Amino acid sequence: MSESYKPVGIQRKDSAREESTEKEQIPINAPVSYYDIQEIQERYLTHDSVYLCLQTNLIKLIDLIKPKAILELGFGGSQTAVKVAEQYKGVKITIVNTNKPMTDMATKIANEKGLTNITIKYIEKEQLNNFIQESLKDYDLTYMLYNFHHIPDDNIRKKEKGDFLSNIYDNMRSDSFFCIADDFLPENCKETELKKDKSLETLYELRKKETESATFWNYLKGVGDEDIRKATEEAENSKIREHQAYIKVRNRNGEFLIKKSWLVNKAQEENFSVLINYDVNSVGDAILLFQK
pLDDT of residue 12: 32
Q: What pLDDT, on the 0 to 100 scale, is given for residue 42?
A: 60
Query: Which pLDDT value is given to residue 1?
Result: 46
pLDDT of residue 31: 33
pLDDT tens-digit map of 156-208? 789 999 999 999 999 999 999 999 999 999 999 999 999 999 999 999 999 99
pLDDT tens sequence across 52-90: 899 999 999 999 999 999 999 998 778 899 999 999 999
pLDDT at position 23: 42
- Residue among 74, 237, 252, 26 nearest 153 (CA): 252
State the pLDDT confidence band at 16, using cuts at 50, 70 and 90.
very low
Distant-in-sequence, close-in-space partners of 97: CB < 8 Å, separation ≥ 6: 1, 4, 74, 75, 103, 106, 120, 121, 122, 123
Q: What percent of the chain has pLDDT over 70?
A: 84
Nearest CA-CA partner of 122 in 101, 143, 139, 136: 101
For residue 155, give the amino acid letter.
N
pLDDT of residue 68: 98
3-state secondary structure of 142: strand
pLDDT of residue 43: 59
Q: What is the predicted pLDDT for the residue at 41?
A: 58
What is the rounded average pLDDT for all residues in the chain? Answer: 86
Strand 285-291 with 177-183, pairing: antiparallel
Residue 4 has a pLDDT of 39
Q: How far apart are CA 82 and CA 236, in angstroms?
A: 27
**pLDDT beyond 60 at 267:** yes
pLDDT of 38 over the 70 cut: no
Q: For the structural domain made of 45-187+254-291, what CATH number should be given?
A: 3.40.50.150
Q: First CA to last CA across the chain, in angstroms?
A: 24
Output the pLDDT for position 37: 52
Looking at residue 49, what is its pLDDT? Answer: 79
Residue spans of the domains in the chain: they are 45-187+254-291
Spatial distance between the Cα atoms of 207 and 50, rounded to a whole number of angstroms: 8
Distance CA 141, CA 93 (A): 10
Residue 189: CA count within 13 A, CB half-sphere:
27
Question: Mind listing the pLDDT tens digit for each residue in 212-231?
Answer: 999 999 889 999 999 999 99
